[in-house]
A = this chain, B = another copy of it.
Amino acid sequence: MDIDDLAKRVIAGERRALARAITLVESGRADHRAEAARLIEAVGSAGREALRIGLSGTPGVGKSTFIEAFGMFLIERGLKVAVLAVDPSSARSGGSILGDKTRMERLAREKDAFIRPSPAQSQLGGVARRSREAVALCEAAGFDVVLIETVGVGQSETMVAGMADLFLLLIAPAGGDELQGVKRGIMEIADIILVNKADGALKDTATRTCSDYAGALRLLRKRPQDPDGYPRAMLVSALTQAGLPEAWEAMSALVEWRRSTGHWARNRAEQARHWFEEELRAGLLARLENDPSIRARVARLGEAVARGETSPTAAAGSVLASLDD
Contact = CB atoms under 8 A, between A and B. Distances in A.
Interface of A: 36-37, 40-41, 44, 129, 132-133, 136, 177, 179-185, 187-189, 212-213, 215-216, 218-223, 268-270, 272-273, 275-285, 287-288, 298, 301-302, 305-308, 310-317, 319-320, 323
Given A281-B285, A317-B283, A218 B276 contact: no
A31 to B, nearest CB: 14
Given A215-B215, A221-B183, A320-B284, A305 B40 contact: no
B184 A221 contact: yes
Contacts of A187: 184, 187
Give this chain's copy count.
Answer: 2
A211 to B, nearest CB: 11
A190 to B, nearest CB: 9
A9 to B, nearest CB: 19
Contacts of A282: 316
Given A182-B219, A269-B308, 17 more contacts: A37-B317, A44-B310, A129-B313, A132-B312, A136-B311, A180-B221, A182-B220, A215-B215, A269-B306, A269-B307, A273-B312, A275-B313, A280-B316, A281-B285, A283-B319, A284-B320, A287-B323
A317 B37 CA distance: 9
Given A188-B188, A305-B276, A40 B317 contact: no
B212 A273 contact: no
Contact of A44 (B216, B298, B308): B308
A277 to B, nearest CB: 7
12 contacts: A40-B313, A41-B314, A132-B312, A182-B219, A269-B306, A269-B307, A270-B306, A272-B305, A273-B306, A273-B312, A275-B305, A281-B284
